[in-house]
Amino acid sequence: MKAVIALGGNALLKKGENPTIETQMKNSEKAMKKIFPIIKKNLVVLTHGNGPQAGYLLLQQEIARKKISRMPLDILDAETEGQIGYILQQDIYNLLIKNKIKKNIVTILTQVLVNEEDLAFKNPSKFVGPFYTKSQASKLKNKFLIKKDLGRGYRRVVPSPKPLEIIERKIVEKLIKDSIVIAVGGGGIPVVKRGNELFGVEAVIDKDLASACLANSIKASNLIMITDVPGVYLDYETSRQRMIKKTGLKEIKLHYETGQFPAGSMGPKIEAAIRFLERGGRKVIITDIDSVEKAIKGEGGTTILK
């Protein structure tokens, strides 16, 4: 099996946890042990989110703004890709050594091409960084675009353009033959083409959409998205809530089009699943870290088939 496994940002830092590196390393070690039985037997690219980590880098910049110059968002994307990649890479390396498996593990800083004319640049909608009170948001509105995150306060919003192409896709495809690869961290580093040159842009690409783009690029058969719930639910958080165990592309598209999966929760994962299957993928699995091994065997999670 050739697969892309997309880890949610909460795999390293769960809501309400103390955001220390020690906490993230502890959570990473647990998560890698859960998926190690899969990655040691298959051709795997591991991707990951960076929401909490990018948020804290933005907060650090805000606190230190009078002392140091501000870093653009594409640089912060690269920082988190290196930071999280290092933590995951070390855990997998140690597991390989412990299990006496001769396999390489490598992290790739991944640039992802977006369209400079993408409408997302005119209508930023991706929430990043810390929460602010109404008073704090008012003071910051001349520096950032800030919107109300319903029920939770005010946050900065940035563009989230659609991924078009993984710049390092050919390198990933070569390396996966004998290595475990970590790539497209946090959705990758957004870049645009001007002439024949690449330039970074301030944005955050959705991690699941970028993972689907990568999976199609390397002709992976499976896309596995690990989130914080056991599977995909219809009528989520209502008395009629029920989990989808197995479904097809046609059925999931119908549910998506009728509004079953909101943009702020399962929506991007379902959009990524649809894109992946429509462009050559065979199977999508959506589940949590504790159920992933069972889901691979068809005994848990949600499976979407072409």
Q: Where are the domains of the chain?
A: 1-111+167-190+208-220, 228-306
> Quick one: pLDDT at residue 269?
95
Binned at pLDDT 50, 70 and 90, residue 53 comes out as confident
47 close to 184: Cβ distance less than 8 angstroms: yes
Q: Which one of 269, 281, 283, 300 is the catalytic residue? A: 269
249 close to 277: Cβ distance less than 8 angstroms: yes
Sign of the dihedral defined by the CA atoms of residues 196, 197, 200, 205, in that order:
positive
Q: Please compute the mean of the pLDDT values over residues 137-165 and round it to a whole number.
A: 84
Binned at pLDDT 50, 70 and 90, residue 20 comes out as confident
**In the CATH scheme, what is the code of domain 1-111+167-190+208-220?**
3.40.1160.10
Binned at pLDDT 50, 70 and 90, residue 294 comes out as very high
Catalytic annotation present for 269: yes
List all residues 6 or more positions away from 277 whose beta carbon is below 8 Å from its beta carbon.
Answer: 249, 284, 304, 305, 306
13 close to 53: Cβ distance less than 8 angstroms: yes
160 close to 125: Cβ distance less than 8 angstroms: yes
Q: Please compute the mean of the pLDDT values over residues 25-45 and round it to a whole number.
A: 93
84 close to 32: Cβ distance less than 8 angstroms: no
Q: Please compute the mean of the pLDDT values over residues 91-97 and round it to a whole number.
A: 97
Q: Which one of 8, 55, 207, 301 is the catalytic residue? A: 207
Catalytic annotation present for 9: yes
Q: Which of 10, 16, 44, 1 is nearest to 30 (CA)?
A: 10
4 close to 38: Cβ distance less than 8 angstroms: no
Binned at pLDDT 50, 70 and 90, residue 21 comes out as confident
Q: Please compute the mean of the pLDDT values over residues 209-231 and round it to a whole number.
A: 96
Binned at pLDDT 50, 70 and 90, residue 238 comes out as confident
> Quick one: pLDDT at residue 151?
65
Catalytic annotation present for 207: yes
Q: Please compute the mean of the pLDDT values over residues 139-157 and round it to a whole number.
A: 80
pLDDT at 78 over 80: yes
Most confident of 51-55, 71-75, 146-150: 71-75
Binned at pLDDT 50, 70 and 90, residue 150 comes out as low
> Quick one: pLDDT at residue 217?
97
Phi/psi at 109 (5° precision): -70, 120
Q: Please compute the mean of the pLDDT values over residues 151-175 and round it to a whole number.
A: 91
Summarize pLDDT for 184-215 with one digit per residue, the tens: 999 999 999 999 999 999 999 999 999 999 99
| Alpha carbon distance 240, 122 (integer Å) | 38
**Cα dihedral: 204, 73, 47, 90 (round 10):** -160
Q: Which one of 85, 126, 186, 300 is the catalytic residue? A: 126
> Quick one: pLDDT at residue 260?
93
> Quick one: pLDDT at residue 153?
82
Catalytic annotation present for 66: no
The enclosing H or E element of 131 equals: strand 126-132
pLDDT at 15 over 70: no
Binned at pLDDT 50, 70 and 90, residue 262 comes out as confident
The string over 163-177, giving b where at least 16 C-beta atoms fall within 10 Å of a residue's C-beta and e elsewhere, is: beebebbeebbebbe
**Three-state DSSP state, 24:** helix
> Which of the residue ranges 135-149, 176-190, 226-240 would you say has the lowest mean pLDDT?
135-149
> Quick one: pLDDT at residue 110?
97
Cα dist. 135→64, 129, 130, 131 in Å?
A: 20, 17, 14, 12
Q: Please compute the mean of the pLDDT values over residues 123-142 and round it to a whole number.
A: 82
Question: What's the mean pLDDT when you consider all of the chain?
Answer: 91
Residue 271 is encoded by which pair of tokens?
């959009």
Catalytic annotation present for 104: no
